[in-house]
């Protein structure tokens, strides 16, 4: 039953998330930031609560009047704050429950996660208690109903010497001291919530405690608009000598009270207590056969040795133990964390269709944010230099210039709209979002100091949806939605080893950005570029020759794999990596940066290692082709991370 519920829930969430990815992209998809949004709601509640409390009077006769002043007299600020306080409180319940349900359906609550699951259940109860307590403080007719109903609910428990409901039988039975106590509870419980949230998130490596900036701004603005359109209002002064008949209930918090009078207090306690116990026991129910408990993960070329706990993903194990693996969504939607399993088996987990293809799985690739070890592993991954990380943005870029450098290569110059710039590290890439929400990724070909624009090198691919549009439909002035920067393929400037760049086709774009950056920062290390192509026309830039003439530490060696007599080619021939092997008997003491097709990148790896190149000195960025599928077949397809079509 649990597995059936999870499969159904996964199907629902994946479809919703796929649709939202088309609208917001993976960075701003709210379903990938549910816990962080709940955090944001908490801080809105705290800030708005402090402001409201400045004008709130805790006297039983004055509480309602002070709230009316907040709502009506100072509606432009205090009134908005009251509405934000109300709606953010609802948001904490909404996003907290969604966060919990999502973790359940994707099976992220068992094994070592049981503690985070239990503290999450406790948090929801504390939020619920604080919310009901807050409604009391208004002391309107709804508060009167809740006070009496809560007392009757609690009276079922055999812990009070006299019925609590007697304290609300007539006017004058509620004192100012009681209201002061309610105020203290309303301050104390959120303090407990804050402490428990801190404990809850400390168990998760690199837990996000705030949503992306653009998403936060959008949510806050939406709530302000809601506060102006539908402000939170009181429901008439309380009168203990009468019974309120018509009430507007907040169904996020007060849904239990109609059940109280429909079922009775005993059944409601049985429901709430039984359901809480069931949820708390979920991590220990329906557990699959016990595995090894811990798995050893050896990383190449990083050289780290990790220990993954039962049910822990490769990414979580790495982050917990200080290995800065690249990632963005952590939910199997962006493909940034994709790596290779060299040895061992994994549970690939659940992810958006198209982010990891069956062909890639056959090659040993996996999404480290979803893959859970089922044995000891050897993996290929690259560590991110956190000191050089830049925030991922979704920006609009206008096509400033289009230059056809070769029959099948187009150079695009993109200018950001609105003056905002995208910072990046040389070698990183961006994702261009298509109209149907799918994405195509391309290396940034300009160096980081040229932040006023982006340059992309795009090769025409038969059947390629985006590249076909670039060559046949795009014009200067068109606007593209671009997301980035992504990737950990970057120049290790702190080293002093001589550098060998190996480029295939449009892989030259990423290498171009690195070389120009090296010149800009005055890097004096020896650099040699091997650029492999089929024909001379595929060597579409004369910049390498120019660099060689202007810089003594740079050497350019073009290599043709399919030379024909009519080319009159007098240079090197064969496969580009074989040219390197012909020139270097030993590669220990060098760094190699390879950017091109997976075949080129993989064909060179073992021979280079055999010549002494350390695994952690081979840096690569392989691109693959994503061909267009008819829309009917793309219900939940995301092609982010695939280069270049």
DSSP 338-381: EEEEEES-EE-----TTTS-HHHHHTTEEETTT-EESS-EEEE-
Statement to judge: residues 123 and 53 lie in one domain:
yes
User: In angstroms, rounded to a whole number, what is the distance separating the alpha carbons of residues 597 and 609?
Assistant: 19
Task: Give dist(CA 163, CA 336) in Å, integer.
Answer: 60
Give the domain CATH number at 81.
1.20.810.10
Same domain as 448, residue 503: no
Nearest residue to 329 (alpha-carbon basis) of 315, 317, 339: 315
Let me know: does 530 contact 503? Beta carbons within 8 Å.
Answer: yes
pLDDT confidence of residue 640: 33
Q: Which of 358, 380, 402 is the last residue of a domain?
A: 380
Asked if 502 and 558 touch (Cβ cutoff 8 Å), the reply is: no
Whether 554 maps to a domain, the answer reads yes
Spatial distance between the Cα atoms of 271 and 150, rounded to a whole number of angstroms? 16
- Shared-domain flag, residues 408 and 546: no
Regarding whether 211 and 148 lie in a shared domain, the answer is yes
Contact 579, 551 (CB under 8 A): no
- Tokens, residue 595: 């950017």
C-alpha 149/C-alpha 261 separation (Å) is 9
E strand or H helix at 393: strand 393-406
Distances (CA, A) of 64 to 10, 61, 83, 129, 142: 46, 7, 16, 21, 12
How many separate domains does the chain show?
4
Domain span including residue 243: 33-284
Residue 639 belongs to a domain: no
Q: What is the DSSP string of 493-505?
A: TT--S-EEEEEEG
Does 88 share its domain with 178?
yes
Please report, for the domain that includes residue 313, its CATH number.
3.10.20.30
The answer to whether residue 127 is domain-embedded is yes
Residues 106 and 129 in one domain: yes
Place of tokens 């008819």: 630
Please list the rounded mean pLDDT of every run of 10 residues in the chain (645 residues): 90 93 86 96 97 92 93 94 97 97 94 93 97 94 92 88 76 82 92 95 87 92 96 91 86 94 94 96 76 84 86 92 85 86 93 86 91 93 70 90 94 91 90 83 92 92 87 93 87 88 93 94 93 93 95 96 89 94 95 90 91 88 54 31 44
Residues 80 and 228 in one domain: yes
CA–CA separation, 611 vs 618, rounded Å? 12
Residue with tokens 């932040």: 451
Q: Which pLDDT does position 642 carry in this prediction?
A: 41
442 token code pair? 């391309």
Q: 396 with 484: CB under 8 angstroms?
A: no
> Is residue 316 domain-resident?
yes
Q: Domain end: 324, 347, 380, which one?
A: 380
**Within-domain flag for 440:** yes
The DSSP secondary-structure symbol of 140 reads: B
Q: Considering the domain boundaries, does residue 324 fall inside one?
A: yes
| DSSP string for 8-28 | HHHHHHHHHHHHHHHHHHHHH
- Residues 119, 231, single domain; the answer is yes
Q: Is the peptide bond before 301 cis (omega within 30 degrees of 0)?
A: yes
Judge if 323 and 255 occupy the same domain. no
Residue 176 lies in a domain: yes
Boundary of a domain, candidates 380, 414, 433: 380
Does one domain contain both 244 and 351? Answer: no
Q: Check which CATH number belongs to the domain holding 582 and give it.
A: 3.40.50.80
CB within 8 A of 393, min separation 6: which ones? Answer: 27, 214, 420, 422, 483, 484
Q: Name the nearest CA neighbour of 517 among 542, 483, 492.
A: 492
For the chain, the residue count is 645
Q: Does residue 595 lie within any of the structural domains?
A: yes
Looking at residue 158, what is its pLDDT? Answer: 86
Task: Provide the token pair at 123.
Answer: 């948090």
Distance, C-alpha 61 to centroid of its chain: 49
Which 3-state string (H, E, C) describes 122-153? HHHHHHHHHHHHHHHHHCEHHHHHHHHHHHHH
Residues 474 and 580 in one domain: no
- The answer on 97 and 56 residing in a single domain is yes
Say what the pLDDT of residue 359 is. 85
């Amino acid at each position: 039953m649990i597995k059936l519920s999870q499969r159904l829930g996964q199907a629902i969430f994946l479809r919703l998330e796929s649709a939202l990815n088309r609208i917001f992209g993976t960075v701003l998809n709210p379903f990938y930031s549910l816990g962080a949004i709940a955090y944001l709601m908490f801080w809105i509640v705290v800030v708005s609560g402090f402001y409201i409390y400045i004008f709130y009077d805790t006297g039983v006769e004055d509480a309602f009047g002070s709230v009316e002043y907040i709502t009506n007299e100072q509606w432009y600020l205090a009134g908005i704050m009251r509405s934000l306080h109300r709606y953010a409180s609802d948001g904490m319940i909404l996003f907290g429950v969604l966060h919990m349900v999502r973790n359940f359906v994707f099976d992220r609550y068992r094994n070592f996660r049981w503690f985070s699951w239990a503290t999450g259940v406790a948090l929801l109860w504390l939020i619920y208690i604080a919310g009901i307590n807050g409604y009391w403080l208004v002391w309107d007719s709804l508060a009167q109903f809740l006070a009496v109903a809560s007392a009757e609910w609690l009276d079922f428990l055999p812990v009070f010497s006299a019925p609590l409901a007697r304290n609300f039988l007539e006017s004058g039975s509620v004192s100012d001291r009681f209201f002061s106590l309610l105020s203290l509870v309303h301050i104390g419980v959120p303090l407990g919530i804050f402490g428990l949230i801190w404990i809850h998130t400390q168990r998760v490596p690199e837990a996000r405690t705030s949503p992306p900036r653009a998403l936060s701004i959008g949510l806050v603005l939406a709530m302000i608009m809601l506060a102006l359109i539908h402000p939170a209002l009181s429901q008439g002064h309380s009168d203990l000598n009468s019974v309120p008949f018509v009430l507007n209930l907040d169904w996020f918090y007060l849904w239990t009270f109609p059940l109280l009078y429909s079922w009775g207090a005993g059944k409601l306690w049985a429901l709430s207590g039984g359901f809480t116990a069931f949820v708390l026991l979920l991590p220990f129910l329906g557990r699959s056969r016990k595995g090894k408990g811990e798995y050893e993960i050896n990383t190449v070329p990083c050289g780290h040795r990790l220990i993954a706990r039962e049910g822990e993903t490769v990414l979580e194990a790495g982050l917990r133990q200080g290995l800065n693996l690249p990632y963005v969504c952590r939910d199997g939607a962006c493909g940034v964390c994709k790596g290779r399993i060299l040895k061992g088996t994994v549970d690939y987990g659940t992810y958006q269709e198209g982010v990891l293809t069956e062909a890639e799985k056959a090659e040993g690739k996996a999404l480290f944010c979803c893959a859970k070890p089922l044995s000891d592993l050897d993996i290929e991954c690259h560590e991110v230099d956190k000191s050089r990380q830049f925030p991922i943005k979704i920006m609009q870029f206008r096509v400033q210039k289009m230059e056809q450098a070769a029959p099948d290569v187009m150079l695009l110059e993109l200018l950001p709209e609105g003056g905002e710039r995208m910072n990046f590290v040389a070698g990183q890439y961006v994702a261009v979002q298509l109209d149907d929400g799918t994405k195509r990724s391309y290396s940034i070909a300009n160096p980081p100091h040229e932040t006023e624009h982006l340059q992309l090198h795009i090769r025409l691919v038969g059947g390629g949806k985006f590249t076909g549009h670039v060559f046949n439909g795009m014009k200067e002035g068109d606007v593209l939605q671009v997301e980035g920067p992504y990737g950990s393929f970057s120049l290790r400037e702190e080293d002093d080893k001589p550098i060998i760049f190996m480029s295939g086709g449009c892989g030259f774009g990423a290498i171009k950005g690195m070389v120009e950056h090296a010149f800009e920062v005055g890097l004096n290390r020896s650099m040699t570029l091997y650029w492999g192509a089929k024909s001379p026309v595929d060597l579409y830039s004369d910049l390498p020759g120019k660099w060689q003439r202007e810089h003594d530490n740079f050497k350019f060696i073009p290599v043709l794999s399919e030379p024909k007599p009519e080319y009159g080619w007098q240079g090197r021939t064969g496969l580009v990596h074989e040219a390197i092997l012909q020139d270097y008997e030993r590669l220990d003491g060098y760094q190699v940066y390879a950017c091109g097709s997976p075949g080129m990148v993989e064909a060179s790896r073992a021979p280079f290692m055999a010549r002494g190149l350390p695994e952690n000195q081979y840096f690569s960025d392989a691109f693959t082709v994503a061909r267009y599928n008819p829309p009917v077949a793309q219900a939940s397809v995301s092609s982010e991370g695939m280069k270049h079509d």
